[in-house]
Structure 1
């Protein structure tokens, strides 16, 4: 488990030692709390974050291939405390 200012996350994959705590803490927004998985990748030296649901988790390899720079450093985090109801309007 990784302790961040946004809570604890499980580091599932850390390709090319991509996870940098300070960068993650600066870039993470509360909107990502609705996702059980967060992918971080570095493009042109900047960290990009994208959330994935349980339903589209298997699309992460496609995202990395199609939307990220070839061979870029990336990581996949699992958010054990995600809440899918945070952003829903009843």
Structure 2
């Protein structure tokens, strides 16, 4: 009887390893697929949507909430709570004006500490080049 349980345990381990390998392969495949960047033009600046968690991006509401004060930042984070969009700016990590909690590396902490649990959000990154002709307005 002990041999049977040992064999069953080995079989279960092999199945778990196979499942884990399959999941890792699927994740790698998904990450390798290139996405066409979505560029948003706001005022005189272009931004790329680099993250759209739970479909948090809404161009109409973003335009209503946007303020020119946000142009100084390298990233704009929009998070939803109680049907309201809140916008916050973050700098790149090596920006001279940045403090620890105003850099993009603080994003995860910001979402965990200041946003509603499981909320929809998006991250816009300011484009280095500002090609006016190629920008899609509001999409």
Task: Give the TM-score category using the shorter length.
Answer: 0.7 to 0.9
Structure 2: 5+ residue stretches without partners: 1-37, 94-102, 129-139
Q: Out of 60, 79, 84, which is 2:126 matched to?
A: 79
**Over alpha carbons, which structure has the higher Rg?**
2
How many positions carry a matched residue from both structures? Answer: 81
What is the CA–CA distance in structure 2 between the aligned matches of 1:24 and 1:45, rounded to whole Å? 13
Pair 1:69-2:116 in alignment: yes
Say if 1:4 and 1:21, in contact at 8 Å, map to a contact too.
no
Q: Give SS of 2:79's match.
A: strand
Deviation at 1:2, TM superposition (A): 2.7
Q: Out of 90, 114, 132, which is 1:52 matched to?
A: 90
What TM-score, normalized to structure 1? Answer: 0.83
Structure 1: 5+ residue stretches without partners: 82-90
Matches within 5 A, 1:1-90: 1-6=38-43, 7-55=45-93, 56-80=103-127
What TM-score, normalized to structure 2? Answer: 0.55
RMSD value, Cα:
1.3
Runs of 4+ in 1 over 6 A off after TM superposition: none
Say if 1:4 and 1:25, in contact at 8 Å, map to a contact too.
no
Which structure dedicates a bigger proportion of its chain to helix? 2
